[in-house]
Structure 1
Amino acid sequence: MEKNFKLDWDTLKKHETPEWFKDAKFGIYCHWGPYSVPAYENEWYSHWMYVNPDNPEYPQGKKFYEHHIRTYGPLNEFGYKDFVPMFTAEKFDAAAWADLFEKAGAKFAGPVSEHADGFAMWDSKLTRWNSKRMGPKRDIMGELSKEIRKRNMKFIATYHRHWLLGWYPTWDTTTDASNPELSDLYGPKMKKGDFQYPPTPHEIDAGIKKYYPLAEEEFNKEWLARLKEIVDNYDPDLVWFDNKMDVIGEKYRKEFLDYYYTESKKKEQEVVTTYKFYDLAKGTAVLDVERSRMSEMKDFPWLTDDSIDWKAWSHIDNPKYKSTNRIIDFLVDVVSKNGCLLLNITPKANGEIPGPVQERLLEIGEWLKHNGEAIYGTRPWKIYGEGDAKVIEGHLSEDKNPDNTAKDIRFTTKNDILYATVLDWPNETVTIKSLKKNSDYYTGEIKSIQLIGSEENITFERKEDALHITFPKKPIGKHAFVLKISSAE
């Protein structure tokens, strides 16, 4: 054990990102747990329900608190623990879920293993608050891991437990969260004001200091023990972490990586870990950006996680779902910049996946069925693309980015083929400046151009200003349109 404490980050950088991840491009996961029962506003219900409306620091908690008191009663009589028996998942069907993920074109998939609420979605020997002993009384991770792998997809586990530190007001004696007999759910005794958002990258870079409580030894050990149990019992191909992991002692973060990478080698399994901000050292795992993307192509593989609902990560009564077109354009843009997309979906508490969510997933799958050769197994080209749309980077910035037009084109390449994906149907002619005559990027001759899905001959001409391509008069589909460009060499 002592050797783990002497590990340095440089040693852990020797782990290579596997080719399966670079090839996969698209995955699906889901926020699903007791917080799905109230179906109110978002997955942070378990936190905001306890925030007194008189607290000036967090005015956003007022409507949650008042809704909870009005709907369920006082917090000393009905706390978050009381949602657990209501989370019965009676319509959950792991095989049906996995079928849907496969039809959607996902290459990796899995559930949120444990959210900030502290409830484990697996058969755990470390806590009574788990889905096998309470609520559904089923091993959610176990069932999904088997069905997902049957369909030749990689299985992933996502982990948010570090957010539990201060998530509930364990100092507030007017709520059930202060009951020491419930500390195995609500977390360690904290003091008022201990719950803090993590410092932003800008604050860290600027040297801005602010109060930010760190986990004590017992919490660190529990955090690591649950992760090891997940690795030992379910062999995840990818372990994804939410941000704020820097509340966990550095030696424990290092020890997890060492354990996961060492165990995977024993099993001859190629695995991936992800991180946000500065929670793990650059090069030891894959960087993940939340509800955002890169403005430029990167020379390293990266991931973005985004939700199908603009408003929430879990099911709510008044969702605002993204359009299929928006999600496909997002995927194409991310892949052109050397990234992968992990799309979150929002099952209901009873285990049903809402109809509009299923519709969008099936539409994405239909698009990938015909155009997936421009996505799966591809690599970035010399430039990611061209067009008017400028991506705004930054944590939770996706809603600042506009929809794309026919002027927005994204490139990928595979086996000497260049794919140019046009993100909207054009008015007959597409011009691609990057492929103009005597282009610095495409120096060879173009032999042919095929519009995937169309049987018409595509005419084109390379001029001094651009490559001009004549499209059919009628659209061949509803979403992004892929040009398959073959060289004469």
Structure 2
Amino acid sequence: MTAPHGLPRLDPDSLPPAVDVSDNTAALAEVDAVIEQGPFSADWDSLRDYEVPRWYADAKFGIFLHWGVYSVPAFSSEWYSRTMYLEGSREHAHHLETYGPHSEFGYKDFIPSFTMEDYDPAAWAALFRRAGAQFVVPVAEHHDGFAMYQSDRTRWNAAQMGPRRDVMGELLAASDDASITRGASSHRAEHWFFMNGGARFDSDVLDPAYQDFYGPAQREETAPNERHLEDWLLRTVEIIDRYRPQVLWFDWWIEQPAFEPSLRRLAAYYYNRAAEWGREVVINYKWEAFAEGSAVYDIERGTMGGIRPVPWQNDTSVSRSSWCWVEGHEYKSLGELIIELADTVSKNGNLLLNIGPKPDGTIASEEQEMLESIGAWLTENGQSIFGTRPWIVAEEGPTRSQAGSFVDGAEVHHTAADFRFTTRHDVTGDYVYAIALAHPEDGVLRIRSFGTGLRLLPQEIRSVSLLGGGEPLGVERTENALEVTVGPAADSPIGPVVKIHLEPEVVPERTDHLHG
């Protein structure tokens, strides 16, 4: 069954039987049994007892993967499965011109071309390890409703069609072998409405044979019904139990009021299962979906205006134009990505950096090169990132980051007067790091926050050095700044990283001892 454009159509006779998920009574009872055993219960007061794991606070850098059927058309973005059905959109016009009528070639018909025949999960994990990633979060299911894992709740999964492999399970196993902590993301909530454009004209979304894939296809402004909420909960529970991810990332739309009881139930279940398994886990959420303190807040393509007292996360992509593989990416520069990492970490956050693999299972050479280059920078400068904590102030300089989500529409050009700060305390001493976001034209970094006048450094400076080898050509501390002469620009995407080793803090001798 091949269409005129050369892509094979989905053969209806090749489909596995539909999964009957109409009665969830027993499965929900099992969920409630886990919640009842504790230590967490399904209420916000209990869930606020959650503590962010130290491993996550130390990790700082993870890899996100948007992979899926949407990489086959490779047009516009990972929302192609929705926008191709929205009459008047450029994706709708592109689909008609390229693939023909939606009734004859719909989104489902891209599945046979999503083969991942060259997929090598061990090579992927090795690449992520070289990049410096401490955790990995592959998309388990995106808004399109195609599960990238082996599922007992839907036949529309990668283990039964397309690649016919449990591609997520294989990647997580390879990540274990590479000492990368496993995670997974769910974007299932939005599937309630995601395909609704196809219900408004003659398309395959209206075909009852594919309702279990395209449905519910309801209007976005309508609240999800109980069946959708139960299915969302139990699909997520399946991911938790089958793969035991230590990071569970949720996209938007779970902040809809109808989801609130299910979120409490899910969080209690996940935290209790983690306690049972002896694992420390993280839930990432957007907007105000979870109560403050019950999970880890995530900002999409953005940053904070300053230091957040508790850990948070910035999820962003190597591409400015799409999360998944598309033709004609607008890639960010290496310097921009490293600055995003430094900015996020200086404000007590982790950076979750996305790549979009191709449908043949390979990673674009441009994205591989970016990851290798980030890893090279971290090899020299990683001690200013991994395991650090925020300093007294996060940043210095004239170029301030715009706080909020979706603020990476254009590259911001920083100066040699722009710095991000981190700090570390370990058995070898106390350290503060100043990450220069550009190299000084005159070869001298002037760090005003380290000047004696501001009194931000409570201890004396023992030594000043540069990460990546080499010593400063000169160091002078004045009331206005610490001036570090670094010489000509090195081959680096940003400026040097200055390491300040502080003298031990002087603790006053006690005078309140009891007479002996």
1:17 equivalent to 2:52? Answer yes
Compute the displacement of 1:158 (Å): 0.6
- Which of 359, 384, 389 is equivalent to 2:399? 389
SS of alignment partner, residue 227 of structure 1: helix
- Which of 283, 296, 303 is equivalent to 1:286? 296
1:31 equivalent to 2:94? Answer no
What TM-score do you get using the length of structure 2 for normalisation?
Answer: 0.87
Compute the displacement of 1:240 (Å): 0.3
Aligned to 2:431: 417
CA distance 1:315–1:42, change in 2 (3 Å) = same
Q: Give yes or no for contact 1:390–1:401 (8 Å, CA) kept in 2.
A: no
Q: Give yes or no for contact 1:392–1:401 (8 Å, CA) kept in 2.
A: no
Distance 2:122 2:85 in 1: 36
Deviation readout 1:122-155 (Å, 9 max, x if unpaired): 0101100000000000001110110001111111
Distance 2:478 2:307 in 1: 26
Aligned to 1:447: 462
Compare CA radii of gyration and give the structure with the larger one.
Answer: 2
Distance 2:140 2:283 in 1: 14
CA distance 1:476–1:34, change in 2 (3 Å) = closer
Deviation readout 1:370-397 (Å, 9 max, x if unpaired): 1100000000011112011121122212
Instruction: Say which is worse superposed, 277-286 or 100-109, in terms of deviation.
Output: 277-286
Aligned to 1:131: 158
Aligned to 1:481: 496
Counterpart of 1:422, as a letter, is A
Q: Give yes or no for contact 2:147–2:157 (8 Å, CA) kept in 1.
A: yes
- Which of 473, 482, 485 is equivalent to 1:470? 485
Aligned to 1:218: 227
Deviation readout 1:197-230 (Å, 9 max, x if unpaired): xxxxxxxxxxxxxxx3211011111101110110
Pairing of 1:336-415 with structure 2 (within 5 A): 336-399=346-409, 402-415=412-425
Compute the displacement of 1:478 (Å): 3.5
Q: Give yes or no for contact 2:192–2:217 (8 Å, CA) kept in 1.
A: no
Compute the displacement of 1:399 (Å): 2.0
Distance 1:372 1:438 in 2: 30
Compute the displacement of 1:46 (Å): 0.4
Deviation readout 1:389-434 (Å, 9 max, x if unpaired): 1211222122256122211111111121111111111121111111
Aligned to 1:155: 182
- Which of 237, 247, 263 is equivalent to 1:228? 237
SS of alignment partner, residue 420 of structure 2: strand
Pairing of 1:203-214 with structure 2 (within 5 A): 212-214=221-223
Counterpart of 2:482, as a letter, is L
Structure 1 stretches of 4+ with a deviation exceeding 3 A read 1-6
Aligned to 1:58: none
CA distance 1:457–1:325, change in 2 (3 Å) = closer
SS of alignment partner, residue 468 of structure 2: coil
Share of identical aligned residues, percent?
A: 41
Q: Give yes or no for contact 2:453–2:480 (8 Å, CA) kept in 1.
A: no
Counterpart of 1:482, as a letter, is V
Q: Which runs of 5+ in 2 are unaligned?
A: 1-28, 505-516
- Which of 104, 110, 114 is equivalent to 1:87? 114
Deviation readout 1:55-89 (Å, 9 max, x if unpaired): xxxxxx2x101110111111111111111111011
Deviation readout 1:452-479 (Å, 9 max, x if unpaired): 1232344211112111111123425343
- CA-atom RMSD in angstroms: 1.6
CA distance 1:431–1:156, change in 2 (3 Å) = same
SS of alignment partner, residue 27 of structure 1: strand
CA distance 1:457–1:389, change in 2 (3 Å) = closer
Q: Which runs of 5+ in 1 are unaligned?
A: 54-60, 196-211
SS of alignment partner, residue 413 of structure 1: strand
Aligned to 1:166: 193
Counterpart of 1:392, as a letter, is Q
Q: Give yes or no for contact 2:191–2:217 (8 Å, CA) kept in 1.
A: no
Counterpart of 1:9, as a letter, is W
Q: Give yes or no for contact 1:451–1:458 (8 Å, CA) kept in 2.
A: no
